[in-house]
Amino acid sequence: MTALTSALEITKLAHEMHVDEAELAFLATTSPDDLRDLRGIVSHAMFSRHESRVKGLAAVSKKLPAAVTAKITEIAMGPMLSARVAAVMDPADAAKLAGHLKPEFLAELSVHLDPSRVEAIIARLDRGLVVDVGRRLLADGHLLTLARFTGVVGPETSLKVVDGASGAEILRLALFIDEPSVIDPLLAGLPDETVTEIAAAGPDHSDAFDALLLALSEDSRARIASLT
């Protein structure tokens, strides 16, 4: 199980660094806790690297109408830089700007966001927009990104996002969730058919399924057992 957890942390670290996982294969024997700490250090370093620049852009955006800023954001800045700027914007201003951005652009931007830095922004967004962006991430296979936001948007919104997702998709999504306490409420809200699908995916993803069971409460494990 430790090997699986380390592999998951390497996947998350590669995502943070925007590199291929193969480039980090030398870290395979590193403990999950050390890899998690390294990911936090890398995230902070990458954000701090251009902090003065993005704060300047955020200040400029505050002086322009939201519709104009949105157009500049989509055409000139792109999703990665926009994610950095969003993290230092006033939450109310950022939420207002998000309402003028295309959902497909917000989905691309989300891949580069650190959810912990934008929680106050997400709390101000229309839930319909959050669900729309989440479903686009799911459709594009960005399960890691989706998992990082699951704890921020809450189980009710998360359940709307994954409505219609396959059991195998939800199993992989659960693997990437950093906070295990988020998984139980998510599973509790899933219909029996989906939970049965998750269990059916177990034999083909045995390590992932075992990791999921370890993260669940006794009641959730009992529910899975009763359905299989």
Count of structural domains within the chain: 3
Residue 81 and residue 168 in one domain: no
pTM: 0.79
The mean per-residue pLDDT over the stretch 132-141 comes to: 95
Residue 149 and residue 201 in one domain: yes
Residue 74 and residue 35 in one domain: no
Predicted pLDDT of residue 69: 80
Residue 116 and residue 131 in one domain: no
Residue 136 and residue 223 in one domain: yes
Torsion of CA 36, 80, 141, 131, to 10 degrees: 100
The CATH number that applies at residue 183 is 1.25.60
Predicted pLDDT of residue 1: 55
Residue 90 and residue 187 in one domain: no
Among 11-20, 54-63, 184-193, 212-221, the range scoring the smallest mean pLDDT is 54-63
Query: Highest mean pLDDT range out of 15-24, 38-47, 61-70, 126-135?
Result: 126-135
50 pLDDT more than 70 = no
With contact defined as beta carbons under 8 Å apart, do 86 and 113 qualify? yes
Give the domain extent around 202: 127-228
Residue 216 and residue 178 in one domain: yes
Pick from 125, 144, 160: which residue ends a domain?
125
pLDDT digits (tens, 9 = 90+) for 103-117: 999 999 999 888 888
The mean per-residue pLDDT over the stretch 154-172 comes to: 90
